[in-house]
């Protein structure tokens, strides 16, 4: 078993390797003068079970090409099995045709990863579960719900909590967390006028006097999240917090979160935050390294991955 880290999130790859008691496989990933990507695996991987850790977050296209070229390098180096470990699967929000003459980019990316040489994919909280069917190779889609539920139980032990789905499409995800916490569920009905802009229309459920916890898979600009927080507080919620798996946090999202009345926003380290940006005090990061390490060990040993969902 070997682990290769691309450049999107080296700290996460190093943490996963440390959990497994391993060192990262030596690899050279560099750019030519015209910014072409060159990959060279510096260790023998013939006959090995190799895991490539790479989130396809910003810059999405560069990180995706790094992943594809690394997969090809390993395939041509005779690795026995190659698993693409993609904590954050970019292009997942383009999982269907939303209007005429538009692509299904998530399917295209799935085809590229497969053709580049991946034998299986390991990811966390796909934006839409049906994306697993876009691949013709096995896909293990882990869930952040158990990780979030443990943290919520610890931090909100003596508070009257209510889990909230920020939109109807995320009800299944929020319900899974609410079931683990044995608490009530509310839903926010919103209308999205255009990409990145949303308007909260109604809160379905009685949130008055409750400590509301929003559950979602992606926070990008932060606009929808902040609108949801405002709507919950306006309807009598005592507090509003959020647990989101993937902190894309593009543009002015961090400033928006810092200025919001949200009590706390908890994300995972599936995406590496820009170290030059100031992290607001109400942003908390949970690591998924132990979860990924356990899944990778189980895959390598051909044991159950679904047991990690418990």
* Residue 107 is among the residues annotated as catalytic for this protein: no
CB 92 within 8 A of CB 44: no
36 annotated to bind ligand: yes
94 annotated to bind ligand: yes
Which sign does the torsion angle of CA 267, 271, 274, 275 carry? positive
193 annotated to bind ligand: no
Q: What number of other Cβ atoms are within 10 A of residue 16's Cβ?
A: 28
217 annotated to bind ligand: no
Calpha distance 249→66 (Å, rounded):
22
Radius of gyration from C-alpha coordinates of the chain? 20
8 annotated to bind ligand: no
216 annotated to bind ligand: yes
Beta bridge partners of 142: 124
Summarize the chain as % helix, strand, coil (round to 5): 35, 25, 40
User: Of residues 153, 154, 190, 284, which has the active-site annotation?
Assistant: 190
96 annotated to bind ligand: no
Calpha distance 285→148 (Å, rounded):
11
- Among candidate residues 151, 109, 102, 101, the one with its CA nearest the CA of residue 126: 109
192 annotated to bind ligand: yes
93 annotated to bind ligand: yes
224 annotated to bind ligand: yes
Please report, in range form, the residues annotated as the binding site for ATP: 34-36, 93-94
The residues that are catalytic are: 190
Please report, in range form, the residues annotated as the binding site for D-ribose 5-phosphate: 192, 216, 220-224
Please report, in range form, the residues annotated as the binding site for Mg(2+): 127, 167
Please report, in range form, the residues annotated as the binding site: 34-36, 93-94, 127, 167, 192, 216, 220-224
């Amino acid at each position: 078993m070997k682990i290769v880290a691309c450049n999107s999130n080296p700290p996460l790859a190093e943490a996963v390797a440390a959990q497994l008691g391993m060192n990262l496989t030596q690899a050279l990933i560099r750019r030519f003068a015209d910014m072409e990507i060159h990959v060279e695996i510096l260790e023998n991987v013939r006959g090995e079970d190799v895991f490539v850790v790479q989130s396809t977050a910003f810059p999405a296209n560069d990180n995706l090409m790094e992943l594809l070229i690394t997969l090809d390098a390993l395939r041509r180096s005779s690795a026995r099995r190659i698993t693409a470990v993609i904590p954050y699967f970019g292009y997942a929000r383009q999982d269907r045709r939303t209007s005429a003459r538009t692509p299904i980019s998530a399917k295209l990316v799935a085809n590229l990863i497969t053709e580049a040489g991946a034998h299986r994919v390991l990811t966390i909280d796909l934006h839409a579960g049906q994306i697993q069917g876009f691949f013709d190779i096995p896909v293990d889609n882990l869930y952040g719900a158990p990780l979030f539920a443990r943290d919520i139980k610890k931090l909100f032990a003596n508070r009257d909590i209510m889990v909230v789905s920020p939109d109807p499409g995320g009800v299944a995800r929020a319900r899974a967390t609410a079931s683990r916490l044995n608490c009530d569920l509310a839903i926010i009905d919103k209308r999205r006028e255009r990409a990145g802009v949303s308007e909260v229309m109604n809160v379905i459920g009685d949130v008055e006097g409750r400590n509301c916890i929003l559950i979602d898979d992606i926070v990008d600009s932060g606009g929808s999240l902040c609108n949801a927080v405002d709507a919950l507080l306006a309807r009598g919620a005592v507090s509003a917090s959020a647990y989101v798996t993937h902190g894309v946090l593009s543009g002015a999202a961090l400033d928006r979160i810092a200025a919001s009345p949200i009590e706390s926003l908890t994300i995972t380290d599936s995406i590496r935050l820009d170290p030059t940006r100031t992290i607001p005090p109400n942003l908390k990061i949970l690591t998924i390294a132990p979860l990924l390490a356990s899944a990778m060990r189980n895959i390598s040993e051909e044991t159950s991955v679904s047991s990690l969902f418990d």
